[in-house]
Structure 1
């Protein structure tokens, strides 16, 4: 089997593991397990905690002592065990620790797969810029396939989704040991600070970059909100006879997968938009898209409002890509080679670390604020949520960020990105 095909399988399985539970877990926890919104938000916030800690630590091991493909295998085997354990528990405390441990070993594999891919392509004389994107896109395809598999099998509201993720992680864990060897480079001394992106803190001395990183954290808080509550929101229509058997309810995860499909398309549009409008305008487009993403959820429904929900899914691709990828490119263009890798690590920490933690807990508090309870058989139970109010608050948050960003962010190179 060719190197490209081996890397395609790795990327497909890497994101299949994630897609098996990321979008549907909130619906399972809020529906079958009756977790509160704050509990769901806290569990999803573990993604941010893991993003702050583990990529740097695992990066140090891969740089100095252990082959990257072996670390990838070890992490996925541990992750398989954590996901399987998570499938057997029903209490909040047990689920929290199971998912925290799972994400502590999963999040660093996102960069490890890139490391293994780049190394293998380079050693086999491939053009990384040209040949990696068509390989990486199979990761998104794997994510979508996992979502469809969980939906069509009816696993989306049961522990079985975690078993699917566990099985895929176990297969990938074993498969990783057969991947092309990616030994430690040992060619340059990487400090502890640089491994965590902290030597790039010098960028905060530049007002433009300080403002950019601050807003990256604030917008990062929005990234996982619909992953956390999207399926729970759509499934809530099951209690309304008019919508109970609609496509958006019975196949909510498939409907949500349109977001990932849109994501693959908008990636291709980024170079044009950056050249034509520049980073500030592209970031503002992203923020506007987040306003629409949440707002359309607030006014849509699985019946006559289904086109609005579909439009929200399409808009997600622009909201996510124009922020995540364009922001990463901006950081690349505005830093020196000496701290470039650390700057990317800092951007990741601000968005997927601090931003995700803040978003997880804050969104959980909002959902709880608009949750109705009642005493049923002597126990306090959730009887409904004011989803429109919840989504409109999230939409207003994105709007406020957008307005503030347009006023505060001043980019010295005008509207176009210019390489040093």
Structure 2
């Protein structure tokens, strides 16, 4: 089996696991359990809490003690066990605890899978910028496949979505042990305390440019959690209105939302061109303004005459997500010494899916309950408009503060 195919299978399963429940858990929470928005914000913050410390810690372990592919396998097998248990949980408090444990195992696997792929491709002497995006696109296809499976089988409001995810997690856990070996770096003599603890990646914060990059990664990571948390629930809520309740877009909202992931598959393939042509700053700015459009179009959309706006918003999502997440990980790879490659990716994950997720999910849950909920009904146009304004402010600040002069030579470092 070729290296590209092996990494393709890894990426497909990696994001199938997430796609089976990430977009539809809101429907399970609100429609099935009837729990509150503030509590739901806390549940979505679990991935953020886990990402604050787990990717960095596992990055250190993968750099120094246990091969990344083995750690990937161990975590997915443990995560599968937790996912099988989730349907048994009957209270919001316990759901939070169990989901946090699940996220402790899952979130670090995102950066670990990137480390495995980059390491294997570099050993083969391949250009990561050209070769990795077409491989990574299969992760998005896996996410889409999971959403369609869950939606078409009628599992959007059901606990069955967690069983689907658990089976995929177990499969990837076993498969991971067959992936290319990622060598650990033996600890040198006379090393500093920081090196011994694996904290060298945090030195990146000493550079103003990298510090700003990580701060804005956190702020943009907050926007990502907003759309994941509330997109499916937004469409499901139209079922309360007679003229919308029988529309296919309301009955199967996960399929409509999957247009976002279909769009991802196209924009991932465009990343090499945009990075080499415009550089990281402009690509990140494009992503930020795309988030403004994503939320703004949701604000004026509905499942009937306003459906085109929702579809366009989903298409824009591909650019918003890919130009930030994939380009960001490639940029971090270019700035990190090989000895701290896993730690650097863990740090990026910590800022985006860690602090960013906690910021986005906790504040949004409280804000929706406090300002945008009337008699139990969420005022979605106002919610999406506030998210759009937030993204616009972040984009303008980034344009002014982040200084980076693009040179085509910068991209050459990805393949060395």
Residue 216 of structure 1 and its aligned partner are, at CA, apart by 1.9
- Within a 5 Å distance, the mapping from 1:62-77 to structure 2 comes to 62-77=62-77
Give 3-state SS (helix, strand or coil) of 2:305's partner. Answer: coil
Distance 1:306 1:191, change over 3 A: farther
Aligned to 1:377: none
Partners of 2:359 and 2:296 lie apart in 1 by 21
- Within a 5 Å distance, the mapping from 1:231-242 to structure 2 comes to 231-242=232-243
Partners of 1:162 and 1:354 lie apart in 2 by 25
Distance 1:2 1:340, change over 3 A: closer
Partners of 2:326 and 2:196 lie apart in 1 by 21
- Within a 5 Å distance, the mapping from 1:166-315 to structure 2 comes to 166-177=166-177, 179-180=178-179, 182=181, 184-189=183-188, 198-315=199-316
Aligned to 1:346: 347
Distance 1:8 1:280, change over 3 A: closer
Partners of 2:346 and 2:176 lie apart in 1 by 24
Residue 63 of structure 1 and its aligned partner are, at CA, apart by 4.1
Residue 137 of structure 1 and its aligned partner are, at CA, apart by 2.5
Greater RCO (CA < 8 Å, at least 6 residues apart): 2
Aligned to 1:392: 385
> Is the 1:285–1:319 contact (alpha carbons within 8 Å) kept by the matching residues of 2?
yes
Q: Could you tell which deviates more after superposition, 222-231 or 107-116?
A: 107-116
> Is the 2:45–2:357 contact (alpha carbons within 8 Å) kept by the matching residues of 1?
yes
The CA RMSD measured in Å over matched residues stands at 2.9
Match of 1:410 among 392, 397, 403: 403
Residue 352 of structure 1 and its aligned partner are, at CA, apart by 1.7
Residue 206 of structure 1 and its aligned partner are, at CA, apart by 3.6
> Is the 2:26–2:232 contact (alpha carbons within 8 Å) kept by the matching residues of 1?
yes
Q: How many residues align?
A: 408
- Within a 5 Å distance, the mapping from 1:38-57 to structure 2 comes to 38-57=38-57
- Within a 5 Å distance, the mapping from 1:147-158 to structure 2 comes to 147-158=147-158
Distance 1:50 1:371, change over 3 A: same
> Is the 1:144–1:260 contact (alpha carbons within 8 Å) kept by the matching residues of 2?
yes
Q: Could you tell which deviates more after superposition, 87-96 or 51-60?
A: 51-60
Give unmatched runs, 5+ long, in structure 1.
Answer: 375-382
- Using the size of structure 2 for normalisation, the TM-score is 0.88
Partners of 2:8 and 2:327 lie apart in 1 by 24
Could you give the per-residue CA deviations for residues 232-275 of structure 1, whole angstroms, max 9, x where no partner exists?
A: 11100011111112122111001111111111211222233334
Give unmatched runs, 5+ long, in structure 2.
Answer: none
Residue 106 of structure 1 and its aligned partner are, at CA, apart by 1.0
Residue 348 of structure 1 and its aligned partner are, at CA, apart by 2.5
Distance 1:299 1:222, change over 3 A: same
